[in-house]
Structure 1
């Protein structure tokens, strides 16, 4: 028997915006770990769908129960993108982790991983801190993480200003967008409506290590060059996690920037690196005593 998956809606809160769509991947045999995927932001989420699905199936075949969640206002979940707020997205991730643990009640001693993609890495880190405060420490698997949310937000805002570039009005357009957000107005960029709450949370988001028991941080990047190397931007962040006692496994593998390429592309080396990293023995004295999921 092979691993299976089932689509479903999770009720995370009361009211008309309370349902989140999810895909629950079940291993064919014993569950060796739990993984909650936290998707990328806006169009990067759509570009990443294929790679995420391939990785989720590979993890399930290796014994992990995986939950792919559409956050509030994204994909097939309730609400529109304009309804989203950063804090509510963090709550969605926590609710997904609790739901997955409830579905596999014998897995209390097994590792829980939050798997973030790009901006989803920032959400995963905040959710991990909240879970740790509630006595549920977890590990983090981050794909192409951005240490500062304000950089991602700034890049997204520039899409709106791009049309003004030739006219020399790009700076004015950026200032206008920020003025509208400060006044509590929603803004529309590339077909996505952004709320002030979402932008403010993203602007503040960073990647500090969560308080409480230290666990494992797996940090993976892709690069199209023959000999991939990690981007320098993440060095200081990873150093802070190591200083906090976390075991940090970081690597760059050859592959395209599939979250932003014009055509949908695959990065098979990233899938293999992820499986290998989660199969590595769990160091003693960290957030989970059992071996990490394979």
Structure 2
């Protein structure tokens, strides 16, 4: 299917009723007259990375739709155009959002359900898959965050860096962590991070989550890297019997780039890595 035809695929924006308000959703549909071969639920990344990556996720969703899949993008509670403020967001609420969205999609699509996550959304997808009551066929991970505490520490460093540039009050290293430990929220780059959310993310590690379904994992490979190493955790999962497929892309870290990157290499690498289910699809296990 050519790019013009892909861009013209049906797209349904809607609000999904949920606890605490509504969740904004985009449903990418297969070509008219073609039944969906399965459903794909997209889990977006954290804070500003959501905005930086929307265009790439939408391009991939259209590509999946052109292959016959219904793809549901949902803004989690407190994120994007959904109800709530980010300071009210909680990890368990996000789990509930994914369950609600996955159940909504499963009721409307007769086929296997795939969960696809980017960055912290990939870690959330892994955590969700480990306790999801819905039958899942596979996980697709784009540049996954593997340790929640390191992810929060990296996020808090943005606050420290901003403080160091300020002419007035400068924050000491570790002060934000101390504030969270006292049960108080901290503001980072315009986002109010609640201690409940930070603590919950701190406690999630991909190393403690052995996937029960096949995993398709894509990592960014910098130009100076001569070959793409298999992530140590992927090797660990394989040793414990998990089916893990790994590939790389070289477009750049689009999730925090100062400019919008089109990422054709990522889309191409995803299509090649997932060829076994983007081709002839089996029925839901």
Alpha-carbon distance, 1:75 to partner: 0.5
Render the CA deviation track for 1:242-271: whole Å, top value 9, x for unaligned.
234221110112211111111111211111
From 217, 220, 223, give the equivalent of 1:222. Answer: 220
CA gap 1:268/1:226 in 2 versus in 1, 3 angstroms: farther
CA gap 1:266/1:158 in 2 versus in 1, 3 angstroms: same
User: Using the alignment, how far apart are the partners of 1:256 and 1:185 within structure 2?
Assistant: 36
Flag structure 1 segments of 5+ consecutive residues without an equivalent.
Answer: 283-287
CA gap 1:228/1:203 in 2 versus in 1, 3 angstroms: farther
Instruction: Name segments (4+ residues, structure 1) moved above 3 Å.
Output: 163-167, 208-212, 226-232, 288-292
CA gap 1:210/1:180 in 2 versus in 1, 3 angstroms: closer
Q: Does 1:122 align with 2:123?
A: yes
User: Using the alignment, how far apart are the partners of 1:281 and 1:113 within structure 2?
Assistant: 10
User: Using the alignment, how far apart are the partners of 1:211 and 1:269 within structure 2?
Assistant: 28
Q: Which residue is equivalent to 1:268? A: 264
Alpha-carbon distance, 1:90 to partner: 1.8
The residue matched to 2:174 in structure 1 has which SS? Answer: helix
Alpha-carbon distance, 1:202 to partner: 1.3
With the length of structure 2 as denominator, give the TM-score of the two structures.
0.87
Alpha-carbon distance, 1:165 to partner: 3.7
CA gap 1:218/1:159 in 2 versus in 1, 3 angstroms: same
User: Using the alignment, how far apart are the partners of 1:203 and 1:69 within structure 2?
Assistant: 23
CA gap 1:244/1:113 in 2 versus in 1, 3 angstroms: farther
Q: Does 1:38 align with 2:5?
A: no
Note the 1:120-269 alignment, pairs <5 A: 120-131=121-132, 134=133, 136-165=135-164, 173-208=172-207, 214-225=212-223, 229-230=227-228, 234-235=231-232, 237-269=233-265
Q: Which residue is equivalent to 1:100? A: 105
Flag structure 2 segments of 5+ consecutive residues without an equivalent.
Answer: none
The answer to whether the 8 A contact 1:186-1:195 is kept is yes
With the length of structure 1 as denominator, give the TM-score of the two structures.
0.85
Q: Which residue is equivalent to 1:290? A: 283
Q: Which residue is equivalent to 1:7? A: 13
Alpha-carbon distance, 1:186 to partner: 1.1
Q: Does 1:278 align with 2:274?
A: yes
Between 223-232 and 85-94, report the one with greater CA deviation.
223-232
Q: Does 1:27 align with 2:20?
A: no
The residue matched to 1:77 in structure 2 has which SS? Answer: coil
Q: CA RMSD in A?
A: 2.7
User: Using the alignment, how far apart are the partners of 1:281 and 1:82 within structure 2?
Assistant: 38
User: Using the alignment, how far apart are the partners of 1:205 and 1:138 within structure 2?
Assistant: 22
CA gap 1:215/1:135 in 2 versus in 1, 3 angstroms: same
The answer to whether the 8 A contact 1:21-1:76 is kept is yes
Render the CA deviation track for 1:69-110: whole Å, top value 9, x for unaligned.
101100100001101011211221121111111122xx1xx3
